[in-house]
Structures are given as C-alpha cells and as structure tokens.
A and B are shown apart, each in its own frame.
Chain A
C-alpha cells in the first residue's frame, strides 16, 4: 500500500467521530471566562510551548502548514500574512485583534470574548511572539460591553499571573556544564484593550487602525499595507478573533491535527452561525467542508417555515437559492467562490418564502447606507444615497420597470469602484437578489404591492 492510500480521509462532518468541538468547548459554560477554569484545562500550554520551544519562524511555519485562512471574512492565509512583516529594525511592532464583529448574521466572536477570553489572549500572545510584536491591541466593538468587561478582567488576571507583561515564560538557568539550560529572559508582551463606538466600517482593517488612533474611521489607501505602515505607521499584523483562537490550538495540537479537517483549500475547524426561521439557531462549530444541510437540518433542526434562499456568510455575501443542490454544497472558501458567492464570516441566514425579497434587500441596503463612511463618491452617492431611495420608491409602490434596470446598472457601476470593500458588500447581495428573485421586484412594480405582504414574525 502506498503512503497516499494510507492517508485517512479528511474530516468534513461534525458527526465524524474524530471531530471534537474545540474553539467553543468552553463557550456557554458558566465560569469558563476565569483564568482558573482555563488553566485547569491546559490553558496557556500552547503559548508556553511556542515561547519556550519554538522560534518565531517555526511558529509562522506551523500556522502556514495548518492552512488556516483568516476568519474575518476575506479568508487570506494567516501564516502568509504574518510572513509579510518586515525584518526587525528596532521599530515598535503591533499585533492587532479585530473584535469589531458587525457583519449582519455574524455573532461568533462575541461569545468567544465573553466566555473564553483567555483562549484569545493566548492566541494573541503566540502571534505576538511569531511576528515579534511586544504590543497587542484588542479592538472590541462598543456594543459588546460584556465582552469588553470580560476581556478587561481576563487581561488583568493574565498580567497578575505573569502571562502578560515583562518576561513572559522567563526561565532561570538550570544545571551545570554541558547539560546546562541557559536562562531565558522570556518575552515582553502586553495587550491594550480598546473599545469602539458603533461603526461597521471599523471592521475594515485600516479603518480600525484610524479609529484606534483617535481619528475618524475612514479606511486608508493601500498600499502601504499594515505590515509596512499600520498602527501609528508602524509594522502591524491584524487578524480576527476566531483566527487567534484557532492559532492557540494549531500550536497546542500541531498543524497536522488542524489540517486533517476540511477540504483542499479550506482547512480546520470553523464557527458557523445560523439565524433566520430555524428551530435551533446559534453558533455551531464544524469542520470546514461540512454542508449547509448538516448545519441547517442536522444541527439547526431545519427551517420552521418554507425557505427560499440561503445567505451563506453574512449579509454581504450573495444569496443562493434554496434547493437540494445548494443544501449539499460544502461550506468552504473554494466552493462558495465557484457558485458565485463567498464564505465570508460563515454567518448563514435562512430567508423564508413568506418574506418579500425586495423588503429584505431594502433592509440590507439600509444597513450599508447607514454604515457608509462617506469618504468616496461611489459609496456615498450610490450606497448611502441612491440605492436606499430606490428601494423606498419600490416599496412605496411607485417603481417602474425602468427603475429596476437602473438599479441593476447602479449596482454594476458600484462593483470595484469604491475606496474600500463596503460598496461591494452592498452591491453583491443586491445583484444576487436581482439574479435569483427579479420576479419579485417585477411583481412589485407591476402591481404596486409586494408578492409577499408583511406578516407578523414576533413571538408572543
């Protein structure tokens, strides 16, 4: 038998007996946010391993080998991103954690910060070592007050325990002669916790840096990329909360363990979020490559009313029509790109048949209109002004067929023309709604009434 034949099949189902919930193993457990709870379950051993037995390059190589792709939405390979940092030249370097989770349909990072803050601190510590950054910045969105408080308490606990601060994992010299282990000064690392104040655009990495610096959170021109000029113009690497938490386990258990899960282009375990009218909405951890069916039916208990579309990864990702073929698609980066959508944050929203699609998209567009920062013309005029007005006109029953053509054209003109991805995030779902549900738009303009009138959805 060849070595290839011996290689076990990749884990792509939550029900594979080899799979175990890892990132979320403490989430939902009362008291899990304390250092005592975390250390009693092997906490900070991965960081100790990285800082005392691995060089920074070895850590980066391990993360590269794991195949981890950034969990903030873009899916850029994390290890590769880390290797973009310039050589050490005496300037301050920063590792930034983006905890500004605000893409509609995404709610995984909040629970990670609330219930397992030390898992995140450990991941940031490892990443700080890997890129030799002595300051970590954790930017938490303003609305996540409990997460902010829990992170603040956890950082204080970690400082008191010597896990943050000067000389983390410093050791004294041991033994004598040839057997001697020299003293190690340890690693100087601390985290600045910073609270946002309600702006979706702060999830864009350069906007977040501006916000941290006390500026209006307009995105910056790239290049220079953060690795060249990030926070205060210094070399910076920025990752999502879930990415850092994943790093903790990649170092703790090894890249091979992580890469045994998932598909060719998407490795590891991922937090999928399920919302909309389903029996058991929530965050479910699954290996990459698990199907929509497994998430929506096997874990989520299925829709509670007939469904017509699936939004696969937060409201900015193009929707897919509800069908057996869609349900059997593996939720990974490559497959979603192949069917013309994106995995995004893995925030799956089920849209019910009874929900007017024009009304739903008006809601999505209003979100992006509200969050447009107004810096560049296409987004300010297109996203923040024209699109919401067009939807207002349609929903008032005053639209015409020409308006539909105009909207499609506007959306085409928005693609790739704005300063940052926010305009695309608005244009893509609108385009997809026209692609799959143009008949609902036509029904509305022809009859002056939506095909699906508003129904009550509020539970008693």
Chain B
C-alpha cells in the first residue's frame, strides 16, 4: 500500500482534527489519543510509526507514551491489515457454536494464520476474544461489521463476495426478545401517538415471546 507518509495525516484535515480535540474538556487533550489513532487506522488500516509521532505531537506526549497506549489495545495495528480484516471470535459461546472450526476453515481458505496479512493485502486474519454476540455465534467481524451465525454455507458466500472485491452487506441476526419485538411491531400497524406517556407504551405481550419466530431464526438447532 502506498502511504504518503511525508505529508502529516491531519495536515489537510484541520476541521476533523479540531472537532476531535474539541470533544474533550479543557485540560483533557490527552483523551484525544485514541480517537486520533482510530481516524488514522480507518484510513490507512494501521497506525505507522510516523503517524504515531504526529499524534503524539498533536496531543503533547512523547511518542513512547503514545506507543505504550497503542500497544495496550488489541484492535490497533502496527502493520497494515488487509482490505478485509477477518476477526474470528474464539471465546466460549462461539466455540460452542463452532467458532474453532470457523477459524480453521478461514485458515484453509486464506492460507493465513492469526496475525498475518496476505501479500496482495486483500485478507488478514485475527483470532479475537468475545465480541459480545454470544447468542448469535459463531461470529466473524469483517472490518467494522459483524456477521453473525456464520454457517459453512454463509462463509462460502461471504468469501466469494470479498474475493470479488465487495464488502459484504451486513445482515442482522436476531434472537430472544429481538424476535418478539419485531413481531409486536408488525402486529401494531401505526405508530401510536404517546397519549399516556411511558406507562402506556406498546407492551410486548409476554406470551408472544417464545414461540413461532422461525422465519427469523437461523441455524441454532
């Protein structure tokens, strides 16, 4: 990837820089460290040494301090990740839904192991810990998007899309009260004006909750 490292990242983005710095109270400039790293990483898929120095200068800390912060967090990358950064959850609930096998399938498909990026810069693979999607495992995070209940078939579709150069569209998996709420909303056609305040908000009949949501439920069984 060509990185114009000679030009400071925020040099031509003064408004963005100011917006980020202004988020924090006076004396809290250091709080902008992580948001600035996020901006760089979203654009360049990693935070290089040069960018780190730039961010440290903006915030007023040493580059060593900034690096200390960056290295603490597992989602900041020192080296560029692929255009499609594949993050597989491997924690218990996903493991019980086949997370380990999902990871091995990705190893076989991409030829990468966790921490690697392919030569073309298309894919990178990372084993990650709990993504907070335990009811809809196994989960694969592609860049910023969650793909839940990734079955063998679904994985093949996702990979085909990415190989064709498309970022796969997010699909929303549902479970539990997600399903019943959707049902209740369908059952209640028009948005009811708030006549009686919260006490009369649309109630979700408890008896509706468990059954009959098969149309929206994936391969839990």
Contacts and interface: CB of A to CB of B under 8 A. Distances in A.
Interface of A: 14-17, 19-21, 24-30, 32, 37, 39-43, 45-46, 92, 101-107, 109-111, 135, 141-146, 192-200, 211-217, 232, 249, 252-253, 273-285, 298-299, 301, 304, 311, 315, 347, 349, 351-352, 355, 360, 363-364, 367, 370-371, 373, 456-460
Given A273-B135, A304-B221, A25 B201 contact: yes
A459 B152 contact: yes
A200 B131 CA distance: 10
Nearest to A199: B73
Contact of B176 (A29, A232, A281): A281
Contacts of A27: 177-178, 181
A195 B134 contact: no
The dominant DSSP class at the B interface is loop
A199 B177 contact: no
18 contacts: A24-B204, A28-B178, A29-B181, A32-B185, A40-B191, A42-B201, A194-B31, A212-B31, A214-B30, A214-B32, A214-B34, A283-B178, A299-B209, A304-B221, A349-B93, A367-B92, A458-B138, A459-B98
A200 B129 contact: yes
B146 interface: yes
9 closest Cβ pairs, A-B complex: A282-B176, A458-B98, A282-B175, A28-B178, A197-B73, A214-B30, A198-B75, A28-B181, A459-B219
Nearest to A103: B130
Contact of B151 (A25, A111, A458): A458
Interface residues of B, number: 87
Contacts of A281: 134-136, 175-176, 220
Interface of B: 23-25, 27-28, 30-35, 37-38, 59, 61, 68-69, 72-76, 90-93, 95-98, 101-102, 128-138, 141, 144-146, 149, 151-153, 170, 174-182, 184-185, 191-194, 196-207, 209-210, 213, 217-221
A379 to B, nearest CB: 15
B129 A367 contact: yes
A34 to B, nearest CB: 11
Nearest to B76: A197
Contacts of A29: 181-182, 184-185
A45 B198 CA distance: 8
Given A45-B198, A280-B175, 13 more contacts: A19-B206, A46-B198, A194-B35, A198-B73, A198-B75, A200-B130, A273-B176, A282-B174, A349-B92, A349-B134, A456-B101, A458-B102, A459-B218
Contacts of B128: 143, 198
A314 to B, nearest CB: 9
A280 B31 contact: no
A142 B198 CA distance: 32
A389 B155 CA distance: 32
B218 to A, nearest CB: 8
Contact of B34 (A16, A211, A364): A211
Contacts of A20: 203-206
Contacts of A351: 96
B203 A102 contact: no
B176 A135 contact: no
B93 A104 contact: yes
A146 B184 CA distance: 24
Counting chain A CB atoms within 10 Å of each CB, the highest count among B102, B174, B221 belongs to: B221
Nearest to B68: A216
Counting chain B CB atoms within 10 Å of each CB, the highest count among A37, A101, A214 belongs to: A214
Contacts of B213: 280
B25 A232 contact: yes
A26 B185 CA distance: 9
A196 B191 contact: no
A104 B220 contact: no
B102 A460 contact: no
Contacts of B141: 143
Contacts of B206: 14-17, 19-21
Contact of A232 (B28, B34, B90): B28
Contacts of B217: 280
A102 B132 contact: yes
A285 B98 contact: no
Contacts of B129: 102, 104, 200, 367, 370-371
